[in-house]
Amino acid sequence: MTDKKRNSMPEKTHAAFTLNQYFLVCYLAMCVCTPFEYMVLFTIIANCVCLAMEVHLPSKDKRPLSEKLEMTEKYFMGIFTFEASLKIIALGFILHSGSYLRNVWNILDFIVVVTGFLTMFMTSGSGVNLRTLRAVRVLRPLKLVSGVPIATFIFLLLLHIWPLTDNPTELPNTIPNAPGLVPCQPQDNNSRQVGAFNCPAGFTCKGYWEGPNYGITSFDNIGYAMLTVFQCITMEGWTDVLYMTNRAYGPRFNWIYFIPLIVIGAFLLINLVLGVLSGEFAKERERVEKRRAFLKLRRQQQSDRELNGYLDWIQKAEEVILAEEQTSFAEKIRIIKARKRAEKLRRRSNDAEKQQVANELESFEAGKYHF
């Protein structure tokens, strides 16, 4: 384990264990070693692929592929549990600084592991909504964000950008809410009651059913209405929602609601949000570049101060040597020439560094205006 990674670890992982004990050092080394991190990342990617390949059918029907994919769940849970257990033993659980649950990404991992075990050992007759617990599996791809530094940076950058939008985002926040309120009252429960469609001979039309997409695609309440409106403004399956409401409510006035919703929401609102985020991202990029240039300049100044102090120390030593009587004339000439060469190289190096900083600032300004 390197000194940098060791210094980032807590001094005590449990009340009775310290870093001086051999097996805890081994645990810490496994947590930070590169092959272990790559193994976890590969497992997360494989789990995301398996989740994407699952096909959910009504009435709890399953395809043969889905049954095989469910068999892989216990293997993924075993690897995630081993990772969490290893980190808990190495870092401690929660009581001290630097422990496992003091990290936001570790809290996410812990929730995924606990809910995974609940769905594995609980049955459908236990009174717990297993569908909701299984939905927590969609958080597993976020583990990939915690394992890739650039992905973590982008994720945190987006979280930092969004509060900076201030007033421009009030309109995107309001527009999806307002259209969701409009059909809540006149279309309440109409998404379930098929009243505008006459069943053909040989079929029986019941008054109520669960509704499309397990009852999610509906206007029965403001939550489902906002979700349905969001689906419409993304233009993914909005025609299906239109036809469903036509069958439930009638096609006479539905177009008055859906056509303005698509025109304003899909074309105006989405582009407005993209414009706001693009502008804020440009500002954040400018701040990051300026900070990077400032840190580079500060490191260069610190190096120059250290170099100048080192050269001053050498020059003082050389002056002491020159002042000594036993120093020969040839040795004095050699020291003086070496001092002149060093001074010349230092001036040339300072001029080159100043020119490099100026070129970087110029290229940054040109890139900013181009962006």
Amino acid at position 114, single letter:
V
pLDDT of residue 157: 61
* Predicted confidence (pLDDT) at residue 238 exceeds the cutoff of 80: yes
pLDDT 10s digits, 161-174: 556 544 444 444 44
The 3-state secondary structure of the chain reads CCHHHHHCCCCECCCCCECCCHHHHHHHHHHHCHHHHHHHHHHHHHHHHHHHHCCCCHHHCCCHHHHHHHHCHHHHHHHHHHHHHHHHHHHCCCCCCCCHHHCHHHHHHHHHHHHHHHHHHCCHHHCCCHHHHHHHHHHCHHHHHHHCHHHHHHHHHHHHHHHHHCHHHHHHHHCCHHHHHCCCCCCCCCCCCCCCCCCCCCCCCCCCCCCHHHHCCCCCCHHHHHHHHHHHHCCCCHHHHHHHHHHHHCCCCHHHHHHHHHHHHHHHHHHHHHHHHHHHHHHHHHHHHHHHHHHHHHHHHHHHHHHHHHHHHHHHHHHHHHHCCCCCHHHHHHHHHHHHHHHHHHHHHHHHHHHHHHHHHHHHHHHHHHC
209: pLDDT confidence band, cut at 50, 70 and 90?
low
pLDDT 10s digits, 127-137: 555 556 666 66
pLDDT of residue 15: 45
Q: Report the alpha-carbon distance of residue 25 to residue 10 in Å, rounded.
A: 12
pTM for this prediction: 0.44
Residue 54 assigned ligand-binding role = no
* Predicted confidence (pLDDT) at residue 183 exceeds the cutoff of 60: no
- Higher pLDDT: 98 or 23? It is 98
pLDDT 10s digits, 334-363: 777 777 777 777 777 666 666 666 666 566
- Higher pLDDT: 194 or 349? It is 349
* Predicted confidence (pLDDT) at residue 184 exceeds the cutoff of 50: no
* Contact (CB, 8 A) for 138 and 51: yes
pLDDT of residue 360: 61
Q: Would you say how long the chain is, in residues?
A: 371
249: pLDDT confidence band, cut at 50, 70 and 90?
confident
pLDDT 10s digits, 270-328: 777 777 777 777 777 787 788 888 888 888 777 777 777 777 777 777 677 666 666 67
- Determine the average pLDDT of the residues in 124-148: 63
pLDDT of residue 131: 58
pLDDT of residue 192: 44
201: pLDDT confidence band, cut at 50, 70 and 90?
confident
